[in-house]
A = this chain, B = another copy of it.
Amino acid sequence: MRKKITIKDIANDLGIHHATVSRALRDDPRISQVTKDKIVTYAKSNGYKLNQSAVNLRNTQSNEIAVIVPNISHYTFANFVSVITDLAAKNNFIVSMFQTRENYEYEIDAVKTIMQNRVAGVIASLSLTTMDTDHFKDLLEFGIPVVFFDRVPTEINAPKVTADNHNAAYECVSILLNKGYKKIAHLTGPLHISVFNDRNNGYQKALLDNNIDFISNIVIPKEFEIQDGFEAIQKLWNVKDRPDAVLCDSFTLSAGVNKYCRNQNIKVPEDLGIIAIANDPFSALLEPPQTIMSQPIDEIANETFKMLLDNVNGKNINDIKTIKTELVLRESI
């Protein structure tokens, strides 16, 4: 391992001042072309690598964008992070990953670490167990811009990007009713989180508008895994007034419902209709291929990043963007 050379080393070797080297390497117009060429050539042939930590200290800000998600291994978040990572790289930022595992304490730890790292900006989706959001308020007060997506807090004045959740659920229920389903259950999440609250409101509104009084809210307590969907429909199925259709708030939940139906020989869509607000390419591969209300993750990620970048660059934008969803009709309803 050879010694790491610095701009001061280059300056000494070339008999000039390190400020000149710094300016030359950043292509400052004040440095003459001959000097630049000399410096750049020397730097390259001697393996000079900029020390980003020093730059970050000098700038009182790091070159990172922190992303806080509940669970990276879930397709929606994985896909989101994937898009964000590309955008960040294109804009000379690094993405730092934080995963809450739906755990409030982890979320607080993440925010603390993020502040210590003087990150340029934060993109976040709340954990299911997050009841108060003071830690995010601290973050904003500390001067770090935050953009929320998907699971956004209602009580914080910050930019937010979500799907058009109310309408998405409303549409799903309307379609189910049109197809003749009468007893529609809703597999959702904790209602203190706006995305689930909005959807549940859309669900209830659609029932109300159609004079249906069967309402069944299932709030999944911990995570959004396949097993949770399996257990939720199992409970629903074994009561007297079982549903004939179910609206699921994630692909994993609906996959769990699908699994239960196959286990129990429940015919889909005859005995039970399944529709999900999701965006998983594998929904097409289930048996039967699953009807979904698709949220365009790419668009959500793009809008989120754009707003964050604006705020990182000093513009004080506080928009709330709502992205249209799109029905993908398959064979599960």
Chain A residues with CB under 8 Å of chain B are 1-2, 4, 49-54, 56-57, 60, 62-64, 67, 71-75, 78-79, 81-82, 85-86, 89, 94-99, 101, 106, 109-110, 112-113, 115-118, 141-143, 226, 255, 258-259, 281-282, 284-287
Contact indicator A78/B72 (Cβ below 8 Å): yes
- Give chain B nearest CB distance to A179 CB in angstroms: 22
Are B72 and A81 neighbours in the complex by a CB distance under 8 Å?
yes
B86 touches A99 (CB 8 A): yes
A117 contacts which chain B residues (CB < 8 A)? 52-53, 63, 94
> CB-CB < 8 A to A226: which residues of B?
281, 285
In the complex this chain forms, how many copies of it are found?
Answer: 2
Counting chain B CB atoms within 10 Å of each CB, the highest count among A72, A86, A282 belongs to A72
**B2, B49, B285: the one within 8 Å of A116 (CB):** B49
* B73 close to A86 (CB less than 8 A): no
Taken together as a complex, chains A and B put the C-alpha atoms of A64 and B72 apart, in Å, by 18
- State the Cβ distance, A82 to closest chain B Cβ, in Å: 4
B49, B78, B112, B255: the one contacting A142 at CB < 8 Å is B49
Cα distance A281–B258 in the bound complex, in angstroms: 13
Give chain B residues whose Cβ lies under 8 Å from the Cβ of A141.
Answer: 1-2
- Alpha-carbon distance between A211 and B97 when the two chains are bound, in angstroms: 50
Contacts of A284 in B (CB 8 A): 259
> Could you show 28 A-B contacts with beta carbons less than 8 Å apart?
A1-B141, A1-B143, A49-B112, A50-B116, A51-B118, A52-B117, A53-B53, A53-B60, A53-B117, A54-B57, A56-B57, A57-B57, A63-B117, A73-B81, A74-B78, A85-B97, A86-B101, A89-B98, A89-B109, A89-B110, A89-B113, A94-B98, A94-B117, A95-B97, A97-B97, A259-B285, A282-B285, A285-B287
